[in-house]
Structure formats: structure tokens, C-alpha cells
Amino acid sequence: MSEFENPDLHVTIANKVVTDDVAAVEVHVWLNDSEYYIGKGASRRDPSDKVDHETGFKLALGRALRDVGRGILREGNDRVKEADAFSKQQKAASDAARAKKVRPQIPAETPRIKLTSSFWSY
């Protein structure tokens, strides 16, 4: 297994179009066999540049992978925001409960027992 192989990550180039003027790539990425992402990227050759299919393809592929990366980052950031919001709700609920907490008052009619030192004498 090379250092880039990972059983939890699978990337496929689903569509690839490379002409003299443009290159377009669509990649499909599976994470942990349960999360699925699609990224698209394209490149366009400037009329003054020489034709280089490999460079156009690499630019389009890099942009497609960047598109997938942005989607994964967006999802991760959303999960962090949800966790932060939940933590804030928990803290607010805890603070509210703490603020409502009052020491119980002993009713006046409750008899009080006073222990003296003679109580412990033999």
C-alpha cells in the first residue's frame, strides 16, 4: 500500500474532457463508505498559450479536488457550529438552573434538637 492509499477514502474521476482549449473534470469521493462528495473543475487555455493537455487536465483536476475539499470543510464547520450551539444551550440551561436553586428554608414549626456535650457522656 502506498502512502496515498487509504481504505476509508476512494476517489474516482467520473468525467474527463480535455480538448485543445478546455479541460473539465468531475471527481467522486467516498469517505468511510458512507459520505459521498462530487467536485467539478475546469481550465481554459489562453489563446496565446501553447496547447498542453496534461497541464489543462491537472488544473481542472486540482480545481475539482478543491471543490470537494471546500464541501468537506463546509460540512465540518457546520458540525462545529452545531456543537458550539449545543454547548451554549447546555451552559445557559445550567446557569438558569443554578440561578433558580435556593437553599431550602426550615419551616418555623419544625422542632430543633440541640445536642449538648452531656449527650455524649457515659
pLDDT digits (tens, 9 = 90+) for 34-84: 889 999 999 999 999 999 999 999 999 999 999 999 999 999 999 999 989
Residue 13 has pLDDT above 70, yes or no: yes
The domains of the chain are located at: 9-81
Q: Sheet holding 22-31: strands in order across?
A: 9-18, 22-31, 35-44
* Torsion over CA: 95, 96, 100, 101 (sign): negative
Scanning the structure block, which residue is given the C-alpha cell 451552559?
A: 91
Q: What is the pTM of this model?
A: 0.66
User: What fold, for 9-81?
Assistant: Double Stranded RNA Binding Domain (3.30.160)
